[in-house]
Amino acid sequence: EGRFVLVAGPCVLESLPLALEVASEVKGICDELGLRYIFKSSFDKANRTSIYSFRGPGLEVGLRWLGEVKSTVGVPVLTDIHEPAQAAPVAEVADVLQIPAFLCRQTDLLVSAAKTGKPLNIKKAQFVSPYDMRFVLEKAKEAGNDQVILCERGTTFGYKQLIVDFRSIPIMRSFGCPVMFDATHSVQMPGGLGGASGGDRKFVAPLARAAVSIGIDALFMEVHPNPDEAKSDGPNMIALSDLKGLLAQLIALDDLVKSELGYVDIEEVLPR
């Protein structure tokens, strides 16, 4: 209940100072605006288009930095895992474990993450329909974890294009779990730059408005002080300096939805 939670941070842990800067600046904005905030950043980009791309500091260093962000800035942190063996060590630091979209059907990864008892953010794969996320959710529940949020981040649409099917928000909420919208990966253009994924950050605002107006529980956005020089996902991240204005608009919409309109609720969508 209440306003959407913001999950935000730089795509990858480029450095500890960058992580601290983003976390504290976003925390300041959220405190001022009255939003709950979870810091997000990846210790490893395990599936970059090209082998020559920057991958991050790795598990050990990454967790140390995330721990530093938690204690210094005083925010919960979320990060993603790529192999079952990473679940337990990551759960010692992270407050929320994220399952990457490409990996959302990997049973062992889901089960090992679920078994940590930590809340999970599971991204809908670009190749999975929202209807079939029910089975992904069930894998986590069957492993004993009910604290799952499902996240929309776009669907394969031809080559080098994603499209967001906003029907997915009420569909996935009908399974009885909260839903997050990832507004920055949804504007990616996979492989669109030749050897790297492109993106178009000017569509972050309209898509985020659309999601909030339907009713979401959490909003995910990657932010960076200087997206055009970021080491990953630059074309779709938004600039830290644009965050506050965008959030203020989304909060106005969210307040209207949460106080007057309500979530768009549909009957539970059954398997078919």
Chain residues 133-172 in contact with a copy of itself, contact rule CB under 8 A: 135, 138-139, 142-143, 155-161, 163-167, 169-170
Q: Which of residues 221-240 bind a copy of itself (CB under 8 A)?
A: none
- What is the per-residue binding string for a copy of itself in 79-108, x denoting contact by CB under 8 A? ---xxxx----------------xx-xxxx
Q: For the chain, how many helices (H) and strands (E)?
A: 8, 13
Of 33, 34, 35, 54, nearest in space to 45 by CA: 54
DSSP calls for 30-56: HHHHT--EEEE-BS--TT-SSTTS---
User: Least CB distance from residue 88 to a copy of itself, whole Å?
Assistant: 15
Q: Which of residues 177-196 bind a copy of itself (CB under 8 A)?
A: 190-191, 194-195
User: Least CB distance from residue 65 to a copy of itself, whole Å?
Assistant: 20
Is residue 271 a contact point for a copy of itself (CB under 8 A)?
yes
How far apart (Å, rounded) are the C-alpha atoms in residues 253 and 15?
Answer: 34
Single out the segment in contact with a copy of itself by CB under 8 A; choices: 35-43, 72-80, 223-231, 256-264: 256-264
User: Least CB distance from residue 21 to a copy of itself, whole Å?
Assistant: 28
3-state secondary structure of 11: coil
Given candidates 1, 17, 51, 229, which one binds a copy of itself under the rule CB under 8 A?
A: 51
Given candidates 16, 36, 55, 244, which one binds a copy of itself under the rule CB under 8 A?
A: 55
How far apart (Å, rounded) are the C-alpha atoms in residues 90 and 95?
Answer: 9
Number of residues engaging a copy of itself in binding (CB under 8 A): 71
Q: Which of residues 201-220 bind a copy of itself (CB under 8 A)?
A: 202-203, 205-207, 209-214
How far apart (Å, rounded) are the C-alpha atoms in residues 130 and 140?
Answer: 16
Rg (CA), the chain: 17
Single out the segment in contact with a copy of itself by CB under 8 A; choices: 14-22, 48-56, 115-123, 221-229: 48-56
* Class of residue 241 by CB neighbours under 10 A (exposed 0-12, middle 13-18, buried 19+): exposed
How far apart (Å, rounded) are the C-alpha atoms in residues 26 and 33?
Answer: 10
User: Least CB distance from residue 122 to a copy of itself, whole Å?
Assistant: 13
Given candidates 70, 76, 131, 244, which one binds a copy of itself under the rule CB under 8 A?
A: 131
* Residue (88 or 266) nearer to a copy of itself, CB: 266
* Residue (86 or 121) nearer to a copy of itself, CB: 86
Distance set, CA 231 to CA 38, 161, 228, 236, 241 (Å): 21, 21, 9, 12, 18
* Residue (73 or 86) nearer to a copy of itself, CB: 86
Token pair 């669109």: residue: 192
Dihedral of the CA atoms 229, 234, 237, 239 (nearest 10)? Answer: 20
